[in-house]
Amino acid sequence: MRKKIAAGNWKMNLGPAAARQLVTEFLKGFDSAANQDVEIILAVPFIDLMLVAELIKDHPQVKLAAQNLHQLDRGAYTGEISAEMLAEAGCEYVLVGHSERREYFHEGDALLLAKARQALKFGLKPIFCFGEQLKDREADQTYEVLKGQLENGIFQLDEAEFENVVLAYEPVWAIGTGKTASPEQAQEVHAWVRHRIHLKYGDLAAKKTSILYGGSVKPDNAMFLFACPDIDGGLVGGACLKADDFVSIAGAFL
């Protein structure tokens, strides 16, 4: 009943020429017939959006995402991009709250909530990322931190809004470090998140919301992570930049 999702976050990598090559190779390698129930999301740099939209247009299983948006409709905000522009470019999703945005661009809970609402206003589905830092885990504060990020952020949405949200648990200590959370560690957090959704939005929402895991997902660990009952897929950074690796990850669902 929940969507299985393999999402690739290219971050600030690959201009249009390299984007064309990667997407073409991925589409060639990905067995869509064998993985019919898996949705692929490509979160690409703004400059690649329209090109990638064109490349995936005959592949309804493959969706386009942006990595960021501005929280207002339009105006004098040099260098920013609006939800309306992203929708027009063909995006169906947008990342909100990635730890790199939280850390390097100081995006806090209120801003992230405003961005999620702005996305929804223009028909984009937010992929809301959250996760604890190593110091939080070591201080036994993981759940407190996650609770704050959820409750001050995406859990402020009402029930109808929340239906269009995908969650991505990304422990910051596992992002780009090669240190993956073990399937047991990840499953424990995912089950807890699903329980929080249940408390806030009810049983149906808890059953329907896809919760992705992110943080050093690779071809050799994806299958073990995705086999966990509350892990509905992955948000993949480094490994999505290699077509073969992303093909294996996208094919790692049982």
Looking at the annotation, which residues are catalytic? Answer: 98, 170
Say if residues 9 and 230 touch (Cβ distance below 8 Å). no
The one segment of 54-62, 135-143, 201-209, 213-221 that binds ligand PGA by CB under 6 A: 213-221
Kind plus residue range of the DSSP H or E element containing 42: strand 38-43
Residue 231 CA to residue 252 CA, distance in Å, equals: 12
Joined together, the tokens standing for residue 81 give: 């991009």
Binding of ligand PGA by 217 (CB under 6 A): yes
End-to-end CA distance of the chain: 15
Binding of ligand PGA by 9 (CB under 6 A): yes
Among positions 83, 225, 238, 245, the unique one binding ligand PGA when judged by CB under 6 A: 238
Residue 34 beta carbon to ligand PGA: minimum distance, rounded to whole angstroms: 24
Joined together, the tokens standing for residue 29 give: 């390698």
Shortest Cβ contact with ligand PGA: which residue?
Answer: 237
Say if residues 252 and 45 touch (Cβ distance below 8 Å). no
Q: Binding-site residue total for ligand PGA (CB under 6 A)?
A: 13
- Residue in the structure block whose two tokens are 């990322």: 129
Site string for ligand PGA, 138-177 (x = CB under 6 A): --------------------------------x----xx-
Residue 99 CA to residue 191 CA, distance in Å, equals: 21
Among positions 214, 225, 226, 233, the unique one binding ligand PGA when judged by CB under 6 A: 214
Residue 199 beta carbon to ligand PGA: minimum distance, rounded to whole angstroms: 27
The one segment of 27-35, 140-148, 223-231, 235-243 that binds ligand PGA by CB under 6 A: 235-243
Binding of ligand PGA by 233 (CB under 6 A): no
Using CB under 6 A, list all residues that contact ligand PGA.
9, 170, 175-176, 214-217, 235-239
